[in-house]
Amino acid sequence: MSFESGLYVVATPIGNLADMSQRAIAVLDAAEIVAVEDSRVTGKLLHHLGLKKKMRRYNDHSSTNDRDSLIAAARDGVVALVSDAGTPLISDPGYKLVRAAREAGVPVYTIPGASAVIAALSISGLPTDRFLFSGFLPNKAKARADALLELAPIKATLVFYESGPRLAASLETISEIYGDRDVAVARELTKKFEEVVTGTAAELAARYAVQDPKGEIVLIIGPPSEDAATADAGDVDAALREALQSMSAAKAAGAIAKKFGLERAALYARATEIKGQ
């Protein structure tokens, strides 16, 4: 199998090394340079494949000179870009390199394969006809809540990456803001201890508060309900103001959402605004 000169964006397994495609293996075999996030991680993959390759580190901190050097190499040979796992550029470094290569007239090719986002969606049981992937939620509580509030009105399934130590806290915030939307937690996909758990955010927060889960995690939130009842804005505001006299913003939003049949997230944003006035 022969390959034209250029930059090849090569997907690698997210867990099970048997998921590496024959074409991806052939590209890595043909590559003069393999651009990697972490040479230790990719080194293990190359060793498994029986390949010895020149690796060059490429990440979010790489310089313009680093990009120029890789692009120059791709003009006359095969340069493969890989991430530690899955499809490069999906919440991984690389878009600046691909953009610079295209601007320089260097061909860019995709060698598709595993993606944790798509793998998790496909077995979550949540709607997949329209979804938004938004990387990792912020670590700090307020920033996390603000990010979820911003995404609340979007009529699509929401997908995030998450880490084990932060999962329970994120689920608690999701419960406070999104109420009883369907949620799925997918972890260790394609590995021995693969797990997909579904339920409300509150149920899953209680499950994972007992012990931090291990492994790579994809967090999926179902879209907002389309059959929420309409209500007069003045009545809702009045009810919120009354509830806020004895409740937190989160609890007031939940109570009024249930009373009027409205989306909890929008009411949480309004309750926070009223509380700050």
Residues 6 or more apart whose CB falls under 8 angstroms from that of 218 comprise 116, 117, 119, 120, 159, 160, 161, 162, 185, 186, 187, 189
Q: Which of 114, 134, 155 is the last residue in one of the domains?
A: 114
- The count of structural domains within the chain is 3
> b/e string for 94-130 if b means 16 or more Cβ within 10 A?
beebbebbeeeebebeebebbbbbbbbbeebebeeee
| Integer CA distances (angstroms), 55 to 35, 79, 116, 127, 276, in order | 6, 10, 24, 40, 53
Number of other residues whose CB lies within 10 A of the CB of residue 266:
18
Residues 6 or more apart whose CB falls under 8 angstroms from that of 210 comprise none
Helix (H, G, I), strand (E, B) or coil at 133: strand
Give a yes or no: residue 226 inside a domain: no
Give a yes or no: residue 256 inside a domain: yes
Give a yes or no: residue 55 inside a domain: yes
Expressed as residue numbers, the domain containing 183 is 117-221
- Cα(158)–Cα(128) distance, integer angstroms: 10
- Cα(199)–Cα(173) distance, integer angstroms: 15
Q: What is the domain-level CATH number for residue 99? A: 3.40.1010.10
Query: Do residues 127 and 164 both lie within one domain?
Result: yes
Q: What's the whole-model pTM score?
A: 0.84
pLDDT in tens, the chain (277 residues): 889 999 999 999 999 999 999 999 999 999 999 999 999 999 999 999 999 999 999 998 899 999 999 999 999 999 999 999 999 999 888 999 999 999 999 999 999 999 999 999 999 999 999 999 999 999 999 899 889 988 988 899 999 999 999 999 999 999 988 888 999 999 999 999 999 999 999 999 999 999 889 989 999 999 987 644 445 667 788 888 888 888 888 888 888 887 776 777 778 878 888 877 7
How many Cα atoms sit within 13 Å of 180 on the Cβ side?
A: 8
Query: Do residues 103 and 25 both lie within one domain?
Result: yes
Query: Do residues 191 and 237 both lie within one domain?
Result: no
